[in-house]
Structure 1
Amino acid sequence: MTADRTPVTAARRGRRPGASTTRQAVLDAARTRFATDGFTATTIRRVAADAGVDASLVMQFFRSKDELFAAVMSVPADALTRFSAAFEGTDDLLGARVVRAFIDVWEVDARTSEPLMAMLRGAIVNEKANEQLREFLQERLLVDAIASRAVDGATLRAGIVSSMLVGLMVGRGIVGVPTLTGAERETLVALVGPAVQSVLVPAAPVTDVKEKRR
Structure 2
Amino acid sequence: MTEHPDEPKPPARRGRRPGRNTTRQAVLDAARRLFATNGFKDTTIRAVAAEAGVDAALVMQFFRSKDELFGAVMSLSPDALTRIAGAFGGPADSVGERVVRAHLDVWEGDGPDGEALRAMLRGAITNTRANTQLREFIEARLSEDAAQFGSDVQDAAIRVALAASMLIGLTVGRQIVRVTLLAEEEREAVVRRMGPALQAVLLPAP
CA distance in structure 2 between the aligned counterparts of 1:17 and 1:59, rounded to whole angstroms:
19
CA distance in structure 1 between the aligned counterparts of 2:151 and 2:112, rounded to whole angstroms:
32
- The residue aligned with 1:92 is 93
The 5-angstrom pairing of residues 57-76 of structure 1 reads 57-76=58-77
TM-superposed CA distance for 1:150, in Å, is 2.9
The CA deviation string for residues 112-141 of structure 1, in whole angstroms up to 9 with x for no partner, is 111111110001111110010011001x20
Bigger Cα displacement from structure 2, 100-109 vs 31-40: 100-109
**Residue identity opposite 2:170 in structure 1:** L
CA distance in structure 2 between the aligned counterparts of 1:175 and 1:164, rounded to whole angstroms:
15
- The residue aligned with 2:196 is 194
Two-structure CA RMSD over aligned residues (Å): 1.3
- The residue aligned with 2:116 is 115
CA distance in structure 2 between the aligned counterparts of 1:108 and 1:101, rounded to whole angstroms:
10
Please say if 1:154 is aligned against 2:143.
no
Q: Which runs of 5+ in 1 are unaligned?
A: 1-15, 205-214
Answer with 1 or 2: which has the greater Rg: 1
The 5-angstrom pairing of residues 1-214 of structure 1 reads 18-138=19-139, 140-150=140-150, 152=152, 153-204=155-206
**Residue identity opposite 2:98 in structure 1:** R
**Residue identity opposite 1:112 in structure 2:** D
Once superposed, which parts of structure 1, at least 4 consecutive aligned residues long, lie more than 2 Å away? 148-152
TM-score (norm 2): 0.88
Secondary structure of the equivalent of 1:88?
coil
Count of equivalent residues: 188
Identity percentage of aligned residues: 61
TM-score (norm 1): 0.85
Secondary structure of the equivalent of 2:125?
coil
**Residue identity opposite 1:49 in structure 2:** A
CA distance in structure 1 between the aligned counterparts of 2:100 and 2:125, rounded to whole angstroms:
23
**Residue identity opposite 1:147 in structure 2:** A
